[in-house]
């Protein structure tokens, strides 16, 4: 059975606004973040989805976003779709991130400081999403997660150049088809 995955980034948080590395740490949604989630809610209301199941990262910013988009609905929180752990860089300025085009391997940089590698995040994300889609009997699955999770997952479905050009803004909605164990990217929507 072909299924559809809607993968959403959480709304803007205080750390996003202050350009702080967030990762495994958490900060609350800003008023703008709540407005972004309300716009995503409008998008899903227009889709008039039925036969769906809801999931969120265990981090509050993701579950708060999901609760605005789908108020008073049951959902499951899963650790496998939480954001990349940046170790001791959590809460620090984004200016401390190594540049992507430097000689430093960005994908493994944070592991030396108590965090995860990009490969670890990507693998746990793919495993968790496949598990969700394989186990559900619903046609539609909605997952609220995080920017780097969305980026790393999308890199498994698209050519590098195409995936690298995408902007994963707060509350963006990615749509994938899932059939025979494979994800196919369909679209990205920026309601905010």
Closest CA to 26 of 69, 72, 63, 55: 63
Q: How far apart are CA 16 and CA 146, in angstroms?
A: 12
**For residue range 176-185, what is the model confidence (pLDDT) as tens digits?**
999 999 999 9
Bridge-based pairing of strands 52-57 and 3-9 is unpaired
Q: How far apart are CA 174 and CA 103, in angstroms?
A: 31
**169 among the known binding-site residues?**
no
**For residue range 83-131, what is the model confidence (pLDDT) as tens digits?**
999 999 999 999 888 876 666 677 888 999 999 999 999 999 999 999 9
**13 among the known binding-site residues?**
yes
**12 among the known binding-site residues?**
yes
Looking at residue 98, its pLDDT comes to: 80
* 8 Å CB contact between 184 and 176: yes
Q: How far apart are CA 107 and CA 118, in angstroms?
A: 5
* 8 Å CB contact between 142 and 55: yes
**168 among the known binding-site residues?**
no
Question: Which residues, in sequence order, are CB contacts of 125 under 8 Å at separation 6+?
Answer: 80, 81, 145, 149, 152, 153
**14 among the known binding-site residues?**
yes
**15 among the known binding-site residues?**
yes
Q: For the domain made up of 3-189, give the CATH fold.
A: Rossmann fold (3.40.50)
Average pLDDT over residues 145-154: 97
Q: pTM, whole model, 2 decimals? A: 0.95
**For residue range 16-64, what is the model confidence (pLDDT) as tens digits?**
999 999 999 999 999 999 999 999 999 999 999 989 999 999 999 999 9
**16 among the known binding-site residues?**
yes
Burial 21-46 (b: 16+ CB within 10 A, else e): bbbbebbebbebbebbbeebbebbee
- How many percent of the chain have pLDDT more than 90? 84
Q: C-alpha angle 14/12/68, rounded to 5°?
A: 115
């Amino acid at each position: 059975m072909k299924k559809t995955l809607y993968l959403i980034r959480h709304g803007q948080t205080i750390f996003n606004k202050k350009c702080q590395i967030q990762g495994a740490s958490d900060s609350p949604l800003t008023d703008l973040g709540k407005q972004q989630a309300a716009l995503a809610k409008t998008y899903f209301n227009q889709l008039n989805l039925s036969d769906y199941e809801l999931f969120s990262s265990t981090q509050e910013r993701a579950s708060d976003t999901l609760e605005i988009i789908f108020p008073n609905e049951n959902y499951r929180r899963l650790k496998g779709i939480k954001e990349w752990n940046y170790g001791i860089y959590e809460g620090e300025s984004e200016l401390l991130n190594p540049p992507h085009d430097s000689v430093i391997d960005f994908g493994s940089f944070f592991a030396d400081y108590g965090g995860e590698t990009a490969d670890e995040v990507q693998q746990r994300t793919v495993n968790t999403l496949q598990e969700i889609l394989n186990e559900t009997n619903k046609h539609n699955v909605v997952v609220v997660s995080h920017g780097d999770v969305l980026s790393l997952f999308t890199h498994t479905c698209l050519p590098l150049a195409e995936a690298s050009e995408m902007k994963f803004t707060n509350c963006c909605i990615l749509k994938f088809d899932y059939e025979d164990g494979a994800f196919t990217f369909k679209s990205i929507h920026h309601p905010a």
